[in-house]
Copies of this chain bind each other. A is one copy, B any other.
Amino acid sequence: MAGSKYAYVRNFELPDPLLPGTFMLLRLDGHSFHRFSDEHGFTKPNDSRALELMDHAAKDLMEQYPDIVLAFGESDEFSFLLRKSAALYNRRQSKIVSTLASLFTSSYVFHWAKYFPDCPLKYPPSFDGRLVLYPSAREIRDYFSWRQTDTHINNLYNTTFWALVQQGGQNTTYAHATLKGTFSKDKHEILFSRFQINYNAIDARFRKGSTLVREELPEKTTANDDGAATGEPSDSGAPAAVKMRGRTKPRTQVVVLHCDIIKDDFWDARPEILAD
């Protein structure tokens, strides 16, 4: 066949399978989102539209990839947990990382106009991805604790910082200086005494980030179930009733929560996330 004398170049592509029996954790991060958020006028310290758009893209990923059992997002980053036994793309690293980063980005651009109807996208944003393996449930728990602690620390800082700037009239240099060396309780105190802001009353989305899980839908009792869902949970994916091994699995949908994922409650209620 023509071309066969060149086909040897395929031999330079080396296999990159990931170790079986381990959790895969994919984290996507916005590329140069400091500039991107400036150019598109994101509200400070948090822009609900931008965060909801991130959630939407993450939800699209979970609906397309059943191996993703949990996702957590804050700011311009999102983490996705793939089950231990996931065989997605034969666990080939580049294939997984590139495809998921690509789809997330695609969904982000695709849905942009829904969340920013008055602000056209000026240029195409991008996200980088990295995939880390974790051998045990303990490390997965600690990974998500690490991210949510980060959310808390950043958001408390940013909320106080922008209160000083926007309501307190400080310039940004001065505001940073004001906060230097302060502890959490100091920031709570600044917010409350100077700006009458009760930090704990702030939108949980900002304080806790977004946690996406699958939830079972209630059984449908109508006889006329033809597979079409009546209440679409999102425009990009219907709740799926997947047939596996001869029986119908429960219909699930992806839901977005803004709750604590550091304590045991969240995990005790969802043992399937860390199950084999």
Contacts and interface: CB of A to CB of B under 8 A. Distances in A.
Interface of A: 1-3, 6-15, 17, 19-22, 28, 31, 60, 93-95, 97-99, 101-111, 121, 123-136, 139, 142-143, 145-146, 149-150, 152-153, 184, 236
B128 A102 contact: yes
A94 B131 contact: yes
Q: Which 6 A-B pairs have the closest CB atoms?
A: A3-B149, A98-B129, A106-B124, A6-B146, A135-B135, A103-B126
A143 B131 CA distance: 27
B94 A2 contact: no
Given A3-B149, A9-B146, A102-B126, A21 B136 contact: yes
A172 to B, nearest CB: 23
Contact of A125 (B106, B139, B146, B184): B106
Given A21-B139, A98-B127, A98-B129, A12 B106 contact: no
Contacts of A145: 3, 6
Given A31-B99, A142-B8, A153-B3, A135 B132 contact: no
10 contacts: A8-B142, A9-B142, A10-B146, A19-B22, A22-B22, A94-B94, A94-B97, A98-B127, A103-B126, A110-B121
B149 A126 contact: no
Nearest to A15: B15
A19 B135 contact: yes
A92 to B, nearest CB: 9
Contacts of A126: 99, 102-103, 106
A6 B149 contact: yes
A9 B124 contact: no
B146 A129 contact: no
Given A21-B139, A110-B121, A7 B128 contact: no
A240 to B, nearest CB: 15
Contacts of A130: 13, 94-95, 98
A199 B36 CA distance: 47
Given A95-B128, A134-B12, A6 B142 contact: yes
